[in-house]
Amino acid sequence: MKEKILNLNITKDFLTTIGGQNAPEVVKVCLEKNKDITDEEISKKIPLKITEIRTILNQLHYRGIACYNKAKTKRSGWYNYTWTIKTKRIAELLLEQKAEEINRMEKRQELEKNYEQFACPGKCTQMAFEIAAEYQFKCPECGKQMNIIDNRKIARESKQKIESIKREVNVLKKVV
Ligand SMILES: [Zn+2]
């Protein structure tokens, strides 16, 4: 299930926004080990500098996604950090974010569906039915007859996008 979350596009996008383009890979390596992992171990699997890996882990830590344990090493007496990824936290943050996004998209889709827009064939203007009617459907810029815009394609595309997010959200819900 943990790996499944990571395969979702919304998860990859989300981790990239937080920790940069290599963040999903770092999280993947951590989850594959499935227990505490040191940044040295991570750096053996990903061609990144250890400082870059630490930066990513710190950014993930800031959002509560990665947490660390500090232990003194017997040999050097230095501190050794081991990291764990909180998959549940990723799911929680994402669900919160996606709920807002779906809400926003559905509202916009309602508007796209309900409001007829008129546009000038010369592309000078685009306006709602009520305003276009005031101009007798003639472009106020150039005087050409304005045409109704077919919103069905746009509405269909938004609907598909919303549905695909909802599908991924349902996968996430099983983790929380
Ligand atoms: Zn025009």
Q: Which of the listed residues 66, 90, 114 is the one where a domain comes to its end? A: 90
Structure-block tokens of residue 151: 């919103």
| pLDDT computed for residue 2 by the predictor | 64
Residue 125 Cα to ligand 1 middle (Å): 6
Give Cα 92 distance to the centre of its chain: 13
Beta carbons within 10 angstroms of residue 44's beta carbon: 9
- Considering the domain architecture, whether residues 136 and 76 belong to the same structural domain is answered as no
First to last CA, the chain: 11
How many structural domains does the chain have? 2
Question: Where does a domain end: 36, 61, 90?
Answer: 90
Name the pTM for this structure.
0.71
pLDDT band at 3 (very low <50, low <70, confident <90, very high): low
Question: Model confidence over 140-174: pLDDT tens digits?
Answer: 999 999 999 877 777 888 889 999 999 989 888 88
Show the tokens assigned to 85: 């990824």
User: Are 124 and 77 contained in the same domain?
Assistant: no
The alpha carbon of 142 and the centre of ligand 1 are apart by a number of angstroms equal to: 4
Instruction: DSSP letter for 145, please.
Output: B
Q: Residue 13's domain spans which residues? A: 2-90
CA of 105 to the centre of ligand 1 (A): 30
**Cα 118 to ligand 1 centroid, rounded to whole Å:** 11
Number of Cβ within a 10 Å radius of residue 70:
8
- Ligand 1 centroid–CA 116 distance in Å is 18
Q: Confidence class of residue 76 from pLDDT cuts 50, 70 and 90?
A: confident
How many whole angstroms from 110 Cα to the centroid of ligand 1? 27
Instruction: Give percent above pLDDT 90 in the chain.
Output: 59
Distance CA 61, CA 83 (A): 9
Mean pLDDT over each residue of the chain, to the nearest integer? 89
Determine, yes or no, domain membership for 117: yes
